[in-house]
């Protein structure tokens, strides 16, 4: 089982906090779509013995492509790969691209899941983050989308400077009113070289308050769990049978093919990443070359990655898997390193799995780094 991720590297405008790869010029859109189709064809042998369970259009802003362009890409995937009978096909979309007519057309296409970048229902938050949509557009698009799609995820951002806990709770409650089966939520992080970092440095925007972000994470968790969501990954909440199949596959170490500029790929032993430059990407593909750098993961890298992703999910870290895949040295090391966190009630062992407690959840990335193996095997 495997997945295909297709990166659409265009956005209308730059959100102040974002450090993903995208261009705000759409001049090369046609060439890019052709290059994506060509890359899909060039790499088909990498998945010749596996069937594709998920196709994910991420970005950037994939909803900037027309429905016809998306269909061309889906056709190209079907022409070059074996696709399972009921694939999950997700489109990341921004509210300002989702008019009523557009949603109705999308619902007739093979796309069967929308991941909508709402981020906040409050105008002040949206302005501070320089989102391209306004609060009304967020509400309107969700009202229509929920009538035409059953499988919808929305994104919300917490820890926004100036947004109180009461306002955050209102954001969550508004999301719940739409009865979507999946919510992804991330803390606003200040990435170097972003406009947000520069505004904070100049004092134009107040800094992110980690303690408040922590409180808002717990408000989110409690409110969504009380409404029947399962907190199945640090940043993801889903109703039963609506967990993202695409993301769950990443977290469970399954293979995926990343198509497009800056997209990452993984085949269980090697990780690859495409060049983060639209012109260089298009030029290389036009010459039938893959603009990809590949790194072979050591056993230590694979163990560290498994620990980090495992602790972020409800599946936890399996001692059996660690011993089986990496050896007794790794299992003994994991037992030893986790003791201090078990004593602090940040980790616990259940049914042969190491998991984070409720108190440990927000800290899980920091905890896993303490469980990483430092010696290289
Ligand atoms: S729309 Fe998404 S990818 Fe584009 S700038 Fe905003 S956060 Fe980044």
Q: What is the pLDDT of residues 279-315, one digit of tens each?
A: 999 999 999 999 999 999 999 999 999 999 999 999 9
- Indicate the pTM of the whole model: 0.95
User: Which atom of ligand 1 lies at the shortest distance from residue 129's CA?
Assistant: 6
- Verify whether ligand 1 is closer than 6 Å to residue 304 (CB atom): no
If you measure from the C-alpha of residue 107 to the centroid of ligand 1, how many angstroms do you get, rounded to a whole number? 23
Residues 116/153, Cβ–Cβ less than 8 Å: yes
Q: Which residue has the higher pLDDT, 21 or 166?
A: 166
* Across 107-127, average pLDDT: 97
Atom 8 in ligand 1: residue holding the nearest Cα: 18
Atom 2 in ligand 1: residue holding the nearest Cα: 60
Exposed, middle or buried by CB within 10 Å (0-12, 13-18, 19+), for 229?
A: buried
If you measure from the C-alpha of residue 8 to the centroid of ligand 1, how many angstroms do you get, rounded to a whole number? 11
Question: What sign does the CA torsion over 66, 67, 68, 70 have?
Answer: positive
SS3 of 32, please? helix
Atom 6 in ligand 1: residue holding the nearest Cα: 15
Atom 3 in ligand 1: residue holding the nearest Cα: 60
Whether the bond into 216 is cis, omega within 30 of 0: no
If you measure from the C-alpha of residue 337 to the centroid of ligand 1, how many angstroms do you get, rounded to a whole number? 38
Q: What is the pLDDT of residue 1?
A: 66
Rounded distance between C-alpha atoms, residue 322 and residue 237, angstroms: 26
Statement: residue 257 has pLDDT above 70:
yes
E strand or H helix that includes residue 185: strand 182-187
Q: What is the pLDDT of residue 139?
A: 97
User: Which atom of ligand 1 lies at the shortest distance from residue 130's CA?
Assistant: 6
In the β-sheet with 152-158, what is the strand arrangement from edge to edge?
Answer: 230-233, 236-238, 182-187, 152-158, 113-119, 82-93, 51-59, 2-8, 255-259, 264-266, 270-274, 292-296
Residue 80 half-sphere exposure toward CB, CA atoms < 13 A: 20
pLDDT tier at 377, thresholds 50, 70, 90: confident
pLDDT tier at 115, thresholds 50, 70, 90: very high
Q: Give the distance between the most distant pair of CA atoms in the chain.
A: 58
Per-chain mean pLDDT for the chain: 95
Q: Which residues pair with 257 in a beta bridge?
A: 4
Supply φ then ψ for residue 45, to 5 degrees: -70, -20
Q: Pick from 8, 15, 62 the residue to mutate for probing ligand 1's pocket: most ligand atoms within 8 Å of its CB.
A: 15
Torsion of CA 74, 261, 42, 27, to 10 degrees: 70
Rounded distance between C-alpha atoms, residue 356 and residue 346, angstroms: 6
Rounded distance between C-alpha atoms, residue 139 and residue 155, angstroms: 13
If you measure from the C-alpha of residue 262 to the centroid of ligand 1, how many angstroms do you get, rounded to a whole number? 14
- Verify whether ligand 1 is closer than 6 Å to residue 354 (CB atom): no
Token pair in block for residue 65: 């492509």
User: Which atom of ligand 1 lies at the shortest distance from residue 11's CA?
Assistant: 4
If you measure from the C-alpha of residue 92 to the centroid of ligand 1, how many angstroms do you get, rounded to a whole number? 11
Token pair in block for residue 219: 């408000």
Rounded distance between C-alpha atoms, residue 214 and residue 232, angstroms: 18
Count other C-beta atoms under 10 Å from residue 21's C-beta.
Answer: 20
Rounded distance between C-alpha atoms, residue 80 and residue 53, angstroms: 14
Q: Pick from 58, 60, 62, 191 the residue to mutate for probing ligand 1's pocket: most ligand atoms within 8 Å of its CB.
A: 60
Question: What sign does the CA torsion over 97, 136, 142, 170 have?
Answer: positive
- Verify whether ligand 1 is closer than 6 Å to residue 64 (CB atom): no
Q: What is the pLDDT of residue 204?
A: 92
Q: What is the pLDDT of residue 248?
A: 86
In 3D space, the residue among 252, 228, 232 whose CA is nearest the CA of residue 54 turns out to be 252
Statement: residue 375 has pLDDT above 90:
no
Count other C-beta atoms under 10 Å from residue 341's C-beta.
Answer: 21
- Verify whether ligand 1 is closer than 6 Å to residue 15 (CB atom): yes
Residues 187/364, Cβ–Cβ less than 8 Å: no
* Across 90-107, average pLDDT: 97
How many residues are present in the chain?
377
Rounded distance between C-alpha atoms, residue 183 and residue 201, angstroms: 31
If you measure from the C-alpha of residue 327 to the centroid of ligand 1, how many angstroms do you get, rounded to a whole number? 41
Supply φ then ψ for residue 257, to 5 degrees: -110, 125
Residues 220/185, Cβ–Cβ less than 8 Å: yes
- Verify whether ligand 1 is closer than 6 Å to residue 22 (CB atom): yes
Q: Pick from 10, 12, 21, 22 the residue to mutate for probing ligand 1's pocket: most ligand atoms within 8 Å of its CB.
A: 22
* Across 166-195, average pLDDT: 96
Q: What is the pLDDT of residue 376?
A: 79
Q: What is the pLDDT of residue 251?
A: 84
Count other C-beta atoms under 10 Å from residue 295's C-beta.
Answer: 10
């Amino acid at each position: 089982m495997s997945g295909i991720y297709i990166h659409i590297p265009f956005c209308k405008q730059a959100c102040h906090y974002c450090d993903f790869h995208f261009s705000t010029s759409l001049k090369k859109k046609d060439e890019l779509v052709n290059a994506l189709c060509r890359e899909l064809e060039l790499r088909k042998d990498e998945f010749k013995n596996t069937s594709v369970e998920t196709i994910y259009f991420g970005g950037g802003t994939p909803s900037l492509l027309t429905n016809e362009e998306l269909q061309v890409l889906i056709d190209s995937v079907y022409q070059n790969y074996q696709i399972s009978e009921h694939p999950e096909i997700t489109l990341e979309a921004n509210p300002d691209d989702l008019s009523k007519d557009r949603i109705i057309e999308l619902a007739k296409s093979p796309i069967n899941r929308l991941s909508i970048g709402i981020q906040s229902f409050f105008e002040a938050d949206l302005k501070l983050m320089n989102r391209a949509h306004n609060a009304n557009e967020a509400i309107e698009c969700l009202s229509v989308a929920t009538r035409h799609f059953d499988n919808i995820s929305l994104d919300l951002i917490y820890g926004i400077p100036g947004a109180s806990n009461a306002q955050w709770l209102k954001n969550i409650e508004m999301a719940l009113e739409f009865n979507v089966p999946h919510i992804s939520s991330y803390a606003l992080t200040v990435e170097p070289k972003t406009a947000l970092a520069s505004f904070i440095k100049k004092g134009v925007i107040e800094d992110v308050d980690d303690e408040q972000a922590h409180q808002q994470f717990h408000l989110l968790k409690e409110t969504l769990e009380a409404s029947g969501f399962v907190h199945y990954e640090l940043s993801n909440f889903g109703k039963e049978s609506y967990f993202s199949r695409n993301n769950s596959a990443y977290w469970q170490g399954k293979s995926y093919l990343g198509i497009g500029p800056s997209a990452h790929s993984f085949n269980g032993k090697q990780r690859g990443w495409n060049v983060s430059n639209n012109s260089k990407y298009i030029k290389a593909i036009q010459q039938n070359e893959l603009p990809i750098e590949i790194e072979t993961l050591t056993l230590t890298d694979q163990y560290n990655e498994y620990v980090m992703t495992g602790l972020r999910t409800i599946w936890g870290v399996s001692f059996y898997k660690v011993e089986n895949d990496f050896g007794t040295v790794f299992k003994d090391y994991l037992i030893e390193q986790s003791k201090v966190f078990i004593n602090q009630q940040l980790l616990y062992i259940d049914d042969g799995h190491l998991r984070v407690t409720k108190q440990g959840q927000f800290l899980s990335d920091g905890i896993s780094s303490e469980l990483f193996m430092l010696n290289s095997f």
